[in-house]
Amino acid sequence: MLGGTVGAVLGPLLVGPAGAWAERLGGRDLSGAYAVSGLLLLIAGVVVFAALRPDPRQIGKAVAALYPPDVNGTGGMRSLRAILAGTEARLAMTSMVVGQAVMVMVMVITSLHMRAHAHGLGELSAVISSHTLGMFAFSVVSGRLADRWGRRPTIAAGAAGLVLACALATLSPDVVPLAGALFILGLGWNLCFVGGSTLLADQLTPDERARTQGFNDLLVGLASAAGSLGSGLVFAALGYSVMAWTGAALALVPLVLALPRRRAAGESGYVLRGSA
């Protein structure tokens, strides 16, 4: 995450210089950013292939061997239906899916919104750098907060941040207000995702995690696609402010679900020994 933070903050700042380089070579301005991104991804792929030791799969097998597979007394792995019957698992997935959709909705359209107000690539890059800083830079802190505050308060704080960010984004098309709004948007997403992913892991045995978390990743990916497509349609038809307020309304869902509640009788989750 810390490495991702460096790339996320510095990467958008390279868009302007890379665009100028591409134009000098006869290309279009944004083609330079894609060329630089492709080169960096190629380097990352080579490094991972050559240097990632031990293989994470082997680590997963070693961890799973420390725990019997039937910790819930169910006779084996639970089905996805059984897992999602638990309130905590549903909250965890909802926080990640809705948080992703809201974040993508606002993030992808803000650049077009700024272009419509005559902002240049440098200003767009600064706003996106602010956003990605909020997304990744505080992951260590948000993980500690999830342990100290608890999963639900962390998710609630993240959802509240998403609502606030969507509201602030409608106030002004200037660079500083938008940079602040998108920073809060990224931080809210981070809290929702860290709190939600931790809460989901709490509910699962090692044998259940790969399948359930893979299903959750599928839902998050679909939410990204829906948020990106939906925000464009709303933006084209009704404008940026309506799109942002739509995101705020969606973010209320995990906020309400994460409010403190009394644990139902017999409700339990699987928590690794030694975890919060």
Number of domains in the chain: 2
Domain region containing 250: 82-257
Same domain? For 133 and 178 the reply is: yes
Average pLDDT on 236-246 reads 94
Domain presence at residue 276: no
Q: Is 68 helix (H, G, I), strand (E, B) or coil?
A: coil
Q: How confident is the model at residue 8 (pLDDT cuts 50, 70, 90)?
A: confident
Average pLDDT on 122-151 reads 90
Residue 259: which region, alpha, beta or left (left: phi > 0; alpha: psi -120 to 50)?
beta
Q: Which long-range contacts (CB under 8 A, 24 or more apart) does 109-114 make?
A: 109/231, 109/232, 109/235, 109/240, 109/243, 110/169, 110/178, 110/182, 110/240, 112/235, 113/173, 113/178, 113/235, 113/240, 114/173, 114/175, 114/178
Q: Mind listing the pLDDT tens digit for each residue in 49-84? A: 999 988 888 887 887 777 665 545 555 678 889 999
Q: What angle do CA 55, 60, 61 make, to 5 degrees?
A: 100
Domain presence at residue 59: no
CA distance 82 to 59: 27
Same domain? For 32 and 132 the reply is: no
Same domain? For 178 and 237 the reply is: yes
At 178, list the tokens: 């938008």
Same domain? For 96 and 168 the reply is: yes
Over its C-alpha atoms, the chain yields an Rg (Å, rounded) of: 21
**174 Cβ neighbours under 8 A, 6+ residues apart:** none
Same domain? For 126 and 253 the reply is: yes
Same domain? For 28 and 124 the reply is: no
Supply the pLDDT for residue 268: 45
Same domain? For 118 and 169 the reply is: yes
User: Whole-structure pTM over 0.95, yes or no?
Assistant: no
Q: Mind listing the pLDDT tens digit for each residue in 156-189? A: 999 999 999 999 999 999 999 999 999 999 999 9
Q: How large a percentage of the chain has pLDDT more than 90?
A: 57
On whether the CB atoms of residues 83 and 212 are closer than 8 A, the answer is yes
Same domain? For 152 and 196 the reply is: yes
- Which residue from 120, 146, 104, 58 is spatially nearest to 234, judged by alpha carbons? 104
Domain presence at residue 68: no
